Amino acid sequence: MLTSSEKEEIPCMEHVVRPFIAVFSDVPDFRHAQGKRHRLPLVLTLVTLALINQQNSLGQIAAWVHGLDGQARQRLHLRHNRVPSYATFRRVLLQIDTAALAQALQAWVEEVLRAYFPAATWQGLAIDGKTLRGSADEEVDLPALQVLNAMIHSLGVVLQSQAIPAQTNELGAIRSFLEKIVLTGRVVSFDALYAHPDLAQLIVNRDGHYLMRVKANQLHLLRAFETWFQDPAPTRQPETYLYSTTVKGHGRLVQYTLRTTEALNAYVQLEFHWPCVGQVFQIQRRCLNLSTGEVTTTIHYAITSLKAHPAGPATLFRLWHQHWNVETKGHWVLDTVFGEDRSSARKAHLPEALSLMRKAVISLLRLFGQDGITRNRSRLSANVDSALSFVGVPLE
């Protein structure tokens, strides 16, 4: 059993938000009552526990659950102390309503954010797509599943995730994806693929702000920005503001210089029909490789609905820089720590369901864990009772 100190280490979710496993009660069970041995919330709770305990594949999940001792089985109120079989886990995840599961998980994350992490001004929300490479099967011409993810910049928490239908692409799915998310008070950040005035309009109509990178897919807009910022002395213009910072890490010294202006706002709105333009900006990234001495310089451009006052260049840089957490804290963790790209789950809803559960565990560990994802999993794996409490299973 847990010691008093171990109990104190477990974040208390009761009395403020629902325990994590309560969200599974909101997911409809497609199975008929007759012959059903294990309730759907219990099956999903066991998947969660196994993922926390460093079991990444469906086979590993089923094997870990099979090894649960009598005390853990009793605490979980398993019927006749029997655990679900591999076939049960597979059947559930193959046919589960993934849209309902995603909605239930999103509602819980929003609940936690309101209770524990009240939104600061302009909470960043990064939108990006990811391909589940292992879900492809060339022999039967099955393409890899693509998903859209929405992540809170500062927390590295996945708010929403959705598979992209095979007959469309990321651009075709983004509108319906955004419509499922609360945008009020948030700055939605995108890579250049999504830079389009229609999406910008959708965001501002929902009381949000946008921050979009501009590249060659918006060629005329990009050329206008380049012309302005390549002026020999743009900083002499009163409409231009500057911010510079240096970041050291991973054997590199990187200097960022951000220049932003409001002088182009009216022109961009009239010429390119871009809504509610607040600023356009340029970021120069000068990278020094400390081991080789090699220096590389790249320049990027972006557009946002945030006004320069009070959202100055330091705020823009923070939002721009933290957008990439969707890669480093999201996609990289999924592939490196949870082995998502190596997963060979392919059929029906199985790859999407497993992906949703992995992201749910990442969010849970980020919101209530004490260390990084890997350390949290290692710590909780050392004590099953601790993991049970962490997900909200009551103590006997």
Over residues 20-37, mean pLDDT: 86
The angle that helices 86-95 and 350-368 make with each other, rounded to 10 degrees, is: 100
Distances in Å between the alpha carbon of 312 and those of 48, 279, 317? Answer: 42, 10, 9
How far is residue 308's CA from residue 303's CA, in Å, rounded to a whole number?
12
> Is residue 362 included in any domain, yes or no?
yes
Alpha carbon distance 226, 300 (integer Å): 9
> Is 306 contained in some domain?
no
Residue keyed to tokens 């909470």 = 123
Provide the domain limits for residue 359: 4-100+344-391
* Residue 362, helix vs strand vs coil: helix
Which pLDDT score is estimated for 241?
A: 78
**Each residue's pLDDT tens digit, 258-317:** 999 999 999 999 999 999 999 999 999 999 998 898 999 999 999 999 998 888 999 999
User: pLDDT for 369-389, tens place per residue?
Assistant: 877 899 999 999 988 999 999
Q: What is the average pLDDT across 161-186? A: 86
- Is residue 91 situated within a structural domain? yes
Residue predicted with more confidence, 56 or 395? 56
The residues, ordered by sequence, that sit 6+ positions from 50 with a Cβ below 8 Å of its Cβ are: 60, 61, 64, 65
Strands 145-152, 123-132: pairing is: antiparallel
Q: What is the largest CA-CA distance in the chain?
A: 78
Task: Indicate the helix (H) or strand (E) that contains 257.
Answer: strand 252-261
Which pLDDT band, with edges at 50, 70 and 90, does 127 fall under? very high
Residue 36 forms part of a structural domain:
yes
Number of domains into which the chain is organized: 1
With contact defined as beta carbons under 8 Å apart, do 95 and 167 qualify?
no
d(CA 140, CA 143): 9
Confidence of residue 14 (pLDDT cuts 50, 70, 90): very low
Q: Does residue 205 lie in a domain region? A: no
What's the whole-model pTM score?
0.86
Mean pLDDT of 245-270: 91
Residue 2, pLDDT score:
36
Q: Residue 3 has what pLDDT?
A: 40
**Confidence band of 9 (pLDDT split at 50, 70, 90):** very low
Residue 338 in any domain: the answer is no
Token pair 């089923």 is at which residue?
62
Kindly indicate the confidence band of residue 8, based on its pLDDT and cuts at 50, 70 and 90: very low
Is 365 a domain residue?
Answer: yes
pLDDT exceeds cutoff 90 at 173: no
Token look-up 């196994």 returns: 50
Average pLDDT of the chain? Answer: 87
Identity of the highest mean pLDDT range in 12-16, 166-170, 281-285: 281-285
Q: How many residues does the chain have?
A: 396
User: Tens of pLDDT along 305-363?
Assistant: 999 888 899 999 999 999 999 999 999 999 999 988 877 666 778 889 999 999 999 99
Residues 6+ apart with CB under 8 A from 4: none
132 domain-assigned: no
Q: Using the predicted structure, report yes or no on whether residue 105 has a pLDDT greater than 80.
A: yes
Q: Among 122, 126, 53, 181, which Cα is nearest to 331's?
A: 126
